[in-house]
């Protein structure tokens, strides 16, 4: 259950034993780690999972490293904009914006059983926003990890219910001007997500 360290030697052994593409995974929390795993194991690709939680820039950084470039830093404005875009897209998803339309003549899925199944819920705008924000809270915790203000933000996360609440919390703990609010100046910094985090 995510404890311990990934044994990349197993990836190496698998790559030597088979003639198909092998994708390596495990403890890839930075682009540098993914690059190192590819070099050490000979894997054909890296599968990044928890390393992208709250840090989607890992993919951009890995591409830059593969090109021999220095990855650009993530600016505060980019970080804030990404969080707010994630919120916006999650709400739109709850409203059905990204729902796929079935082509004419395609088989219809079987209707949910009365004793189970997953009916498609139709939300009002307010219900969609509240449902999306509730589901996003774990992502918000990942986004704020390793930043001064993250601990204070995580303390109030259960009280965030709307996109406006999230924006207000970002403004409170991570002001757009880059200043450090007095209430978080003494806050210790946590490191980034690691293999030891469940």
Region at 58 (left for phi over 0; alpha for psi -120 to 50; beta for the rest): alpha
Spell out the per-residue pLDDT of the chain, length 198, in tens.
566 788 999 999 999 999 999 999 999 999 999 999 999 999 999 999 989 999 999 999 999 999 999 999 999 999 999 999 999 999 999 998 887 788 888 888 777 667 665 566 788 999 999 999 999 999 999 999 989 999 999 999 999 999 999 999 999 999 999 999 999 998 887 666 565 654
Name the helix (H) or strand (E) containing 25. Answer: strand 23-25
What span, in angstroms and rounded, lies between the C-alpha atoms of 140 and 120?
A: 26
Please list the helix, strand and coil fractions of the chain in percent, rounded to the nearest 5, in that order.
50, 5, 50
What span, in angstroms and rounded, lies between the C-alpha atoms of 184 and 157?
A: 15
């Amino acid at each position: 259950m995510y404890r311990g360290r990934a044994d990349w030697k197993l990836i190496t052994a698998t790559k030597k034993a088979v003639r198909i593409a092998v994708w390596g995974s495990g403890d890839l929390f930075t682009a540098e780690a993914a690059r190192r795993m590819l070099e050490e194991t000979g894997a054909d690709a890296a599968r990044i999972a928890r390393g992208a939680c709250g840090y989607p820039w890992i993919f951009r950084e890995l591409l830059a490293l593969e090109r021999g470039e220095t990855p650009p830093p993530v600016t505060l404005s980019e970080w804030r904009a990404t969080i707010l875009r994630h919120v916006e897209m999650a709400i739109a998803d709850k409203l059905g914006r990204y729902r796929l339309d079935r082509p004419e003549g395609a088989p219809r899925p079987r209707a949910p059983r009365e004793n189970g199944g997953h009916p498609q819920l139709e939300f009002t705008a307010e219900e969609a926003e509240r449902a999306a924000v509730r589901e996003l809270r774990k992502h918000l915790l990942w986004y704020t990890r390793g930043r001064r203000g993250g601990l204070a933000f995580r303390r109030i996360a259960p009280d965030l219910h709307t996109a406006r609440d999230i924006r207000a919390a970002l403004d409170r703990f991570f002001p757009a001007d880059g200043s450090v609010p007095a209430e978080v100046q003494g806050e210790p910094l946590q490191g980034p997500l690691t293999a030891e985090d469940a």
